[in-house]
Amino acid sequence: MSAPTLTTARLTMNPPTRADFEDSRAMWADPLVIRHVGGRPFTEEESWTRLMRARGLWEVLGYGYWAVRETSTGRYVGEVGFGDLRRDLEPSLYGLPEMGWVLAAWAHGHGFGTEAVRAGLAWIDEALTPPVVPCIIDVENTPSIALATKVGFTLKTHATYKGAPIVVMERRV
């Protein structure tokens, strides 16, 4: 499946390209952004690998991540999408389209996350109709937990991933 472009009232969501790399790299190096995602800035190599994985998911699984930009300005908002990331995690999420999102610091608090996540969920509901979509969130990331709850995710369990306490949430169709 080729990756679709999604549009909302304020956002354009495209499959990531090489042209998105510098914006993505800057976002993943921002201490404010990564404080709940590993806690340390990503290296250029790690950011490049993330971009390649985000693009490759579409080819392998038929779903993946979008690079999100504000339509009116072209400004990079962040990344939203799905992946079967084969995490070493209990409960297992293998085979499920795990949803994830990350926003550039400037984009926090403007409703962009909710808008992009809703667009992604609407797409996957129509394209793949999965019975469940999970997500994992650092327990201290209260804005992200609030966003997940707002769009229909509910708490499944608490767990630990790479030594950090997380919540595993799910959205059933």
Would 165 be classed as within a structural domain?
no
Q: Which two tokens stand for residue 159?
A: 């767990």
pLDDT digits (tens, 9 = 90+) for 84-106: 999 999 999 999 999 999 999 99
Please report the pLDDT score of residue 141 as a whole number: 96
pLDDT digits (tens, 9 = 90+) for 111-126: 999 999 999 999 999 9
Would 49 be classed as within a structural domain?
yes
pLDDT digits (tens, 9 = 90+) for 16-39: 999 999 999 999 999 998 878 877
Sheet of 164-172: strand order equals 132-138, 164-172, 154-161
Residue 118 domain boundaries: 6-130
Q: Which two tokens stand for residue 18?
A: 């090489």
Please state the domain count of the chain.
Answer: 1
Would 1 be classed as within a structural domain?
no
The CATH number of the domain where 47 resides is what? Answer: 3.40.630.30
Cα(159)–Cα(86) distance, integer angstroms: 16
Would 66 be classed as within a structural domain?
yes
Would 81 be classed as within a structural domain?
yes
Q: What is the pTM of this model?
A: 0.95
Cα(118)–Cα(8) distance, integer angstroms: 9
